[in-house]
Chains A and B, each alone.
Chain A
């Protein structure tokens, strides 16, 4: 929506397609905040965008492209102030300025927040701003194909979910902003809708995906449902304890403790659980009781509500049961700093894309920031390239419509096959078992075989619902086709990276290997199969070092 706003402000004719109403998008669930070196909280002295960059690059285990990180951090204060001017009701400090709290892997308290509902507040603010601009929303339209012809992207074909009809959209510039692919994992904080649709669409037109092996596992998700328990809970002073009440983080990150980067804290918790120091069922305690009711109610009201409603626990009096779960996709569609993909007319931004600003591990508070900073960049790039480019090729859109119409009819005609739901469950389990927090060659090889076996079953999937109106199963089948491809890309990238870096931890290669692997993994479809190649990391000011926290 930030891209839509900035393109509309430059007088372009903008349409937004979304498979759900835009306010149901997963950004709404972001809790903890958005980073910007505003220096509103001076407990650790004055912050700077350079310090923010260093933290981001170090957190990324040096796999981030440093020029992209500079763009992100330099623009952050402007972007946050802009959001405030657009109407976001941020939490405030005693001076009335935007409040900032400490977050994992950050040297300064630079995470701006709206209680623990920051994403909700930003998403609603941006949608509100869209309402006063001239643009058209196509809600509940599921994009089934990008139309690539004549060496450019001409638009897309989308299913109008409400009536089941296919419609063609011609565009000079098209942006993928579809979010991550967390739902390929059985334990995830992600919404049901996060099925990696944009990355799958890009892969299908021959575009490369980057760094797909880097999957963030959030340390603290609610035991059972894996609902997110924000890092802000630790930022406000929450502690992690094992069964004997020990603050075990002292053994893993003696200085940063609970506020080490997410990959480190997630592995620490999983190690405690695996070595029998977790609670029965597989979780540890996140203790907020010492913060007191008033602070919990003003800073973490959503966390209290989630704990009470979904776990029957009041964090004011009892610790929250937490375990790691999939949370974020660092990898995505390979784009440049201008958000352009390798196909003219096609752009990507946000979690579905990989610039890369997060490298091998994203810092908390940097994803909302990425969406607004690179959303604006994408909108500008699209507006200026649209001004120069010729009209899209309408015959290719017509051809795309015919292809997609046949494809959907075939799916609906098929009888007596397997349900998509069982295949989806199988896939999620494989990904969690074989490509989770700890990985090794043997289990990943097995995982790859299982992914390919699921892929071979895709051809026989059938749908009982033969009607067109709001055919949820049809959408789920098309999502699953993409998910399997994405899973294969994650798996293969992980298998080939024989080192441990950031979120990618191999028990058979536990060390980082800069000589061999300080590079981005690229996956592309070639002759039906996936091909792995590499591209260099753009280094810069910050020398590559061992991470210490």
Chain B
């Protein structure tokens, strides 16, 4: 099986190199990258940790779709029917890629490349920090606060996020607006705003009440489609906008 892999080192031109790997039953893209690194070229760099789709280290662009390398099996990647995503400026054509014979592996878009498949995620994390992701406990007694199943289910939708940034790489808005907070950070902010234990609650939504926050989203829903945890940032964003609109109405004295 042939892999066409994006390569880039500091002070060197971007290039693609083709490697032949020996596939085995259940082989994932991460396994294939290790095979290249271990047997052919140890200068190939990529991030990895859990290999079980829980740590969020290895999101990359595989056949033009942002996904976790450890969760994607190589069988089926040759000439696959691509997932339908809204086009993004940063996911363009790759000259020389031959889908019927090759798997294409590239770094996650919308972040600068450090080396090969390793991107600089500082911008992504900075946006996560900007939404102030720490619960402020309303009142902390000696026992746990009580929580019903309905709110639990809703919170779980968002706490399942592993911050792999697949959504951030897939989002067309992140591709054109570098200041856009992006789906992961907004979903996280929404998660805190609906937590009944939080002192600030819905007031938190104001943190992203700006052109590069809630209002930048155009509901392409690439974020939800590529999420390995089925987190729905698009729903969070829609609900947040609704809340803010309601609040503004009240403030203007409308009913």
Question: Do A and B truly interact?
Answer: yes
Name A residues whose Cβ lies closer than 8 Å to a Cβ of B. 20-21, 23-26, 28-29, 38, 80-81, 84-87, 89-92, 95-98, 114-115, 117, 120-121, 124-125, 128-129, 131-132, 162, 191-193, 224-225, 227-228, 302, 305-306, 309-311, 419-422, 463-465, 467, 469-473
What would be 6 A-B contacts, judged by CB atoms less than 8 Å apart? A21-B57, A23-B56, A28-B162, A86-B137, A131-B133, A132-B134
Smallest beta-carbon distance B70→chain A, Å: 9
Q: A96-B148, A97-B146 are in contact. Are A131 and B132 (CB under 8 A)?
A: yes
Contact between A85 and B140, CB atoms less than 8 A apart:
yes
B189-229 vs A, CB cutoff 8 Å, 1 = contact: the mask equals 00010010100000000000000000000000000000000
Inter-chain contacts of B39 with A (CB < 8 A): 419, 421
Contact with A85, one of B50, B51, B114, B145 (Cβ below 8 angstroms): B145
Interface 9-residue window, one of B79-87, B149-157, B236-244, B245-253: B149-157
Expressed in whole angstroms, the Cα–Cα distance for A465 and B41 within the complex equals: 8
State which residues 28-46 of B face A: CB under 8 Å: 37-39, 41-46
Contact between B10 and A469, CB atoms less than 8 A apart:
yes
Contact between A472 and B9, CB atoms less than 8 A apart:
no
Smallest beta-carbon distance B57→chain A, Å: 5
Expressed in whole angstroms, the Cα–Cα distance for A97 and B56 within the complex equals: 30
Contact between A81 and B144, CB atoms less than 8 A apart:
yes
Contact between A89 and B156, CB atoms less than 8 A apart:
yes
Q: A92-B147, A224-B26 are in contact. Are A470 and B45 (CB under 8 A)?
A: yes
Contact with B135, one of A86, A228, A470 (Cβ below 8 angstroms): A86
**Interface residues contributed by chain B, number (CB under 8 Å):** 56
Inter-chain contacts of B26 with A (CB < 8 A): 224-225, 310-311
Smallest CB-CB separation from B41: which chain A residue? Answer: A464
State which residues 119-153 of B face A: CB under 8 Å: 121, 125, 129, 132-135, 137, 140, 142-149, 152
- Interface SS majority for chain B: loop
Contact between B56 and A464, CB atoms less than 8 A apart:
no
Expressed in whole angstroms, the Cα–Cα distance for A162 and B112 within the complex equals: 13
Smallest CB-CB separation from B140: which chain A residue? Answer: A85
Q: A115-B156, A192-B49, A421-B38 are in contact. Are A29 and B55 (CB under 8 A)?
A: yes
Contact between A81 and B155, CB atoms less than 8 A apart:
no
Contact between B52 and A467, CB atoms less than 8 A apart:
no
Expressed in whole angstroms, the Cα–Cα distance for A420 and B39 within the complex equals: 10
Contact between B48 and A192, CB atoms less than 8 A apart:
yes
B163 at the interface (CB under 8 A from A): yes
Contact between A121 and B55, CB atoms less than 8 A apart:
no
When A and B form their complex, which 7 residue pairs have the shortest distance between CB atoms, in order from nearest? A87-B135, A96-B146, A421-B38, A465-B43, A132-B134, A473-B42, A470-B115
Expressed in whole angstroms, the Cα–Cα distance for A310 and B149 within the complex equals: 30
Q: A23-B55, A421-B38, A469-B115 are in contact. Are A191 and B145 (CB under 8 A)?
A: no
Contact between B115 and A419, CB atoms less than 8 A apart:
no
Smallest beta-carbon distance A22→chain B, Å: 11
Inter-chain contacts of B140 with A (CB < 8 A): 85
Inter-chain contacts of A90 with B (CB < 8 A): 144
Contact between B144 and A97, CB atoms less than 8 A apart:
yes
Q: Known A-B contacts: A87-B135, A97-B146. Give 9 more (CB < 8 A).
A: A21-B125, A86-B135, A89-B159, A92-B152, A131-B132, A309-B53, A421-B42, A464-B42, A473-B42
Smallest CB-CB separation from A464: which chain B residue? Answer: B42
Inter-chain contacts of B57 with A (CB < 8 A): 20-21, 24
Inter-chain contacts of A224 with B (CB < 8 A): 25-26
Q: A81-B144, A85-B145, A87-B195 are in contact. Are A472 and B71 (CB under 8 A)?
A: no
B116 at the interface (CB under 8 A from A): yes
Inter-chain contacts of B148 with A (CB < 8 A): 92, 96
Contact between A28 and B54, CB atoms less than 8 A apart:
yes
Inter-chain contacts of B9 with A (CB < 8 A): 467, 469
Smallest beta-carbon distance A220→chain B, Å: 14
Contact with A465, one of B42, B49, B71, B197 (Cβ below 8 angstroms): B42
Smallest CB-CB separation from A424: which chain B residue? Answer: B38
Expressed in whole angstroms, the Cα–Cα distance for A120 and B54 within the complex equals: 7
Expressed in whole angstroms, the Cα–Cα distance for A123 and B146 within the complex equals: 21
Contact with B42, one of A80, A128, A228, A419 (Cβ below 8 angstroms): A419
Expressed in whole angstroms, the Cα–Cα distance for A493 and B138 within the complex equals: 51
Smallest CB-CB separation from B48: which chain A residue? Answer: A192
Contact between A191 and B51, CB atoms less than 8 A apart:
yes
Inter-chain contacts of B176 with A (CB < 8 A): none
Expressed in whole angstroms, the Cα–Cα distance for A86 and B198 within the complex equals: 10
Contact between B118 and A132, CB atoms less than 8 A apart:
no
Contact between B142 and A81, CB atoms less than 8 A apart:
yes
Contact between B142 and A29, CB atoms less than 8 A apart:
no
Contact with A29, one of B45, B47, B52, B71 (Cβ below 8 angstroms): B52
Smallest beta-carbon distance B64→chain A, Å: 21
Smallest CB-CB separation from B195: which chain A residue? Answer: A87
Q: A131-B132, A192-B51, A465-B43 are in contact. Are A470 and B144 (CB under 8 A)?
A: no
Q: A129-B134, A191-B55 are in contact. Are A470 and B146 (CB under 8 A)?
A: no
Smallest CB-CB separation from B44: which chain A residue? Answer: A472
Expressed in whole angstroms, the Cα–Cα distance for A464 and B38 within the complex equals: 11
Inter-chain contacts of A120 with B (CB < 8 A): 54, 160, 162
Counting chain B CB atoms within 10 Å of each CB, which of A89, A132, A302, A473 scores highest? A89
Expressed in whole angstroms, the Cα–Cα distance for A120 and B161 within the complex equals: 9
Inter-chain contacts of B133 with A (CB < 8 A): 128, 131
Inter-chain contacts of B159 with A (CB < 8 A): 89, 114, 121, 124
Contact between A464 and B51, CB atoms less than 8 A apart:
no
Expressed in whole angstroms, the Cα–Cα distance for A80 and B197 within the complex equals: 16
Q: A20-B49, A89-B159, A470-B45 are in contact. Are A131 and B149 (CB under 8 A)?
A: no
Q: A87-B135, A128-B135, A132-B132 are in contact. Are A24 and B55 (CB under 8 A)?
A: yes
Expressed in whole angstroms, the Cα–Cα distance for A134 and B42 within the complex equals: 38
Expressed in whole angstroms, the Cα–Cα distance for A396 and B26 within the complex equals: 49
Contact between B162 and A84, CB atoms less than 8 A apart:
no
Smallest beta-carbon distance A139→chain B, Å: 8
Smallest beta-carbon distance B86→chain A, Å: 25
Smallest beta-carbon distance B136→chain A, Å: 8
Smallest beta-carbon distance B157→chain A, Å: 10
Contact between A85 and B137, CB atoms less than 8 A apart:
yes
Contact with A87, one of B10, B48, B197 (Cβ below 8 angstroms): B197
Smallest CB-CB separation from B120: which chain A residue? Answer: A162
Smallest beta-carbon distance A76→chain B, Å: 13
Expressed in whole angstroms, the Cα–Cα distance for A469 and B45 within the complex equals: 9
Contact between A193 and B49, CB atoms less than 8 A apart:
yes
